Copies of this chain bind each other. A is one copy, B any other.
Amino acid sequence: MARQATKKRQTTEAHGEKRNEILRHCAILFDKVGYHKASMQMLADEVGLGKPTLYHYFPSKHAILYAIHEAHMSVLLDGVADKDPAANPFDRLRSGCIDILRQIAEHPGYVRAFMDHYEDLEGKMRNEIRAQRKEYFERIRGIIVLGIENKQFRDCDPDITTYGFLGMCNWAYKWYPPLAKKRSPEEVADALCGPFFEGLRLTKQ
């Protein structure tokens, strides 16, 4: 029994490894030609496998898309896990921004699929991801609400401010990838958060 469990775990791990490798290749192709224009045959070629073998690892094309969504969301959710809710809310927001930018720099394909093809998910997969997105939104919103309560943030609409902040960060998937070699996520996050935190208006001194 213990043996069996061990064996089972081993093969499962190898399976998981391979899935991740496949995912990386798929993300590259998705980023290059787009999700819809990448056929399962092209995907299989890219990974160096036969098409049926690809289906051995993923039951459908949607499942690949779902796995990419999962991978991306889990990174972001880890990043905002409530490790230190007492920390400076500016730092927490900035850190969330960096997470997003780093993810864009390191896995542009994941992010693009995530941003542009959430609507292609269906049924259970869609619900699952929707829940995770909601959870993530609430975390960020929570930081902002806390900031307002502590009189560190100005009194603003928490929902719309959260949307605005996330929009500002997420939108980077459209322009940051080609710059990622030159400018680090930290650097860009500062340039992005600067106006948002301190205001675009130059207060006379």
| Residues of A near any B CB (own CB < 8 A) | 34, 36, 90, 116, 119-120, 147, 151-157, 160-161, 163-172, 174-175, 188, 191-192, 194-203
Q: How often does this chain occur in the complex, in copies? A: 2
Which chain B positions have C-beta within 8 A of A170? Answer: 167, 171
Which chain B positions have C-beta within 8 A of A116? Answer: 116, 119
Query: A168–B172 contact, CB under 8 A?
Result: no
A-B contact pairs, 15 of them (CB 8 A): A36-B36, A147-B200, A153-B200, A154-B199, A160-B191, A161-B194, A164-B171, A164-B192, A164-B195, A167-B170, A167-B172, A195-B196, A196-B199, A199-B199, A203-B203
Question: A137 → chain B, closest Cβ, in Å?
Answer: 9
Q: A120-B34, A157-B191 are in contact. Are A151 and B202 (CB under 8 A)?
A: yes
Question: A196 → chain B, closest Cβ, in Å?
Answer: 6
Query: A197–B197 contact, CB under 8 A?
Result: no
Query: B152–A201 contact, CB under 8 A?
Result: yes
Question: A204 → chain B, closest Cβ, in Å?
Answer: 9
Q: A201-B90, A203-B203 are in contact. Are A163 and B171 (CB under 8 A)?
A: yes
Query: A154–B119 contact, CB under 8 A?
Result: no
Query: A166–B171 contact, CB under 8 A?
Result: yes
Query: B191–A154 contact, CB under 8 A?
Result: no
Which chain B positions have C-beta within 8 A of A197? Answer: 199-201
